[in-house]
Chains A and B, each alone.
Chain A
């Protein structure tokens, strides 16, 4: 099977959707002339002139204008440059984008995708490295996705664009460059937002993650396998509304749950998973729920410090062995 990068996978998704739906367009900072700071829009402006739009540095317009365009009948994709900047336009996200449908009694449809590159990139420090997904899973009315590999990157983005609800699409900056198998278009299997995937079956522990956290999950599962411990790895893919059933079914099988993500552990996106398993599947747990995430600090700049911010597969292995 052909291998392409995560970045190219998202570009393919965009191109296919723009081809299919003339009302799809994309706007953001530095996406047309530059092709996106991570190259994720390269080539699109030539392919779809006038539909890849460089905006001023105006996040409230990028998102608010996207919501307005959706209300006006278009199917916008808007780009956040860095996920860290969503705070600038938070009102547009949680009071406008998320609420329009409900508060207008279902009259509005907001088929909008907000793309947000996130995560540690090496020296991005406090305002250019964050993973902020957990803020948004607290908001009813928007959907939150965070794929972990090129194939999902493509299929999830296509599903997000075709979705009539607003979707926050978190794409990890480190993953952009990673290659993975992506089938030809005719062999693609569409993704349904809200579905998790058991990426690897196991029986001793369930490791749940998403986005770049999946690298830790997979690596930990490999290490554990060497010691005869069989880990089931679940890629959540959609963080809201998330696939409770998939996780609960896995925990019912393995009786242990380990959660890992790059975001700050306190109030992290997977805290909801932990809480739900405790609420609805406590009787299946044979060990405390393990959670791995970043410490409760802003992200430091110096490499020596940034290193401490990260989670490593060995952390998971140690923790899991401790409860087996």
Chain B
């Protein structure tokens, strides 16, 4: 068992609030997608909330994250406005990206969320480059985080970024959400290593494996990695073991696995329902307190939905804007 950093009740409450917001947000998105109100396609973070929440809790607004196509949770955890997030997912002009990005290309630069990425494995080099700029050019102590799944770990881009990050001791943290599924393919059928983070050793990069369902454990690992990075000691690979509860995308018939098995895993590991069990010593919550937080999160998301649908779609005049700065 790792030694966990001291966490106050206030912090723990914030963790739970964030996880609840993500959960409610995703449930709402799922419902509205199935209702046909949301265009495109969406990928849900349900069951993996503790990872984004724990990692981002260790970051400042000026730190960067590179997210994935399953990025709503990262975005919320990094502090993006949920109203504007929802509006973006609905394709409205008041969305974070003026309705031009959508779920898979959501970003909020004001809180250091440099964007979800429609290309699996597209984020490593961006995060590493941002870390390079921070350390070697701009000489500040900003840290970059790249989230990625076990599927994305098989992209060659991982190799190039991990190598450079370790060689130049860049302040970048590789956060692997080991959710066992690359779309429809179980990781065992495409990947030989037991742990994705076994690869980090090959780059001379320290790694840590954590229970991705335990927000306190994730937070602890993140704090340590962030400190290392800020001290100029280079990157860390955090492998957070989790499980993808939802289909690859909303509407995925999931023919490739058994629903009961997934539900059993969810029942056993849901970071929300097991939150009380994971609380560090000295921090206590009643179920009623948690219920209240969940209800507040639900209300907040309902308001976000209401905001989103009250917004207009972008005006046609918006079409040619933002292709170039000048």
Contact = CB atoms under 8 A, between A and B. Distances in A.
- The answer to whether A and B interact is yes
Contact of B160 (A23, A25, A56, A103): A56
Most chain A CB inside 10 Å of its own CB: which residue of B64, B105, B138, B325: B325
B206 interface: no
Interface of A: 22-23, 25, 50-51, 53, 55-56, 58-61, 63-74, 76, 91-92, 95-96, 99-109, 140-141, 143, 163-165
A268 B180 CA distance: 45
Nearest to B109: A107
Residue of A63, A66, A95, A105 contacting most chain B CB atoms (<10 Å): A105
Nearest to B88: A105
A106 B98 CA distance: 8
Contacts of A165: 324-326
Contact of B125 (A92, A106, A164): A92
Contacts of B303: none
Nearest to A110: B325
A69 B324 contact: no
A63 B117 CA distance: 16
A205 to B, nearest CB: 33
Contacts of A55: 164
Contacts of A64: 122, 124-126, 128-129, 157, 160-161
B296 to A, nearest CB: 29
B156 interface: yes
Contacts of A56: 160, 163-164, 167
Interface string B92-133: 000111111100010111000011011100101111111111
Closest 7 CB pairs of A and B: A68-B129, A64-B125, A72-B130, A105-B97, A65-B129, A105-B98, A68-B126
Nearest to B64: A72
A188 to B, nearest CB: 20
Contact of B99 (A66, A105, A140): A105
Nearest to A107: B109
A102 B100 contact: yes
Interface residues of B, number: 48
Nearest to B100: A105
Contacts of A68: 66, 114, 125-133, 144
Contact of A105 (B124, B134, B322): B322
B4 interface: no
A186 B326 CA distance: 25
A72 B321 contact: no
B164 A65 contact: yes
B130 A58 contact: no
B161 A164 contact: no
Nearest to B107: A104
A200 to B, nearest CB: 29
B68 to A, nearest CB: 14
16 contacts: A25-B136, A61-B129, A61-B163, A63-B125, A68-B114, A69-B130, A70-B133, A73-B138, A76-B133, A96-B119, A101-B323, A102-B100, A102-B323, A104-B100, A108-B114, A140-B323
Contacts of A65: 125-126, 128-129, 132, 161, 164
B18 interface: no
B98 A72 contact: no
A108 B107 contact: yes
A243 B137 CA distance: 35
B142 interface: yes
- Which of B96, B115, B128, B137 has the most chain A CB within a 10 Å cutoff? B137
Contact of A69 (B98, B109, B115, B129): B129
Residue from B64, B131, B157 whose CB has the most chain A CB atoms within 10 Å: B157
A238 to B, nearest CB: 12
A51 B137 contact: yes
Contacts of B163: 56, 58, 61
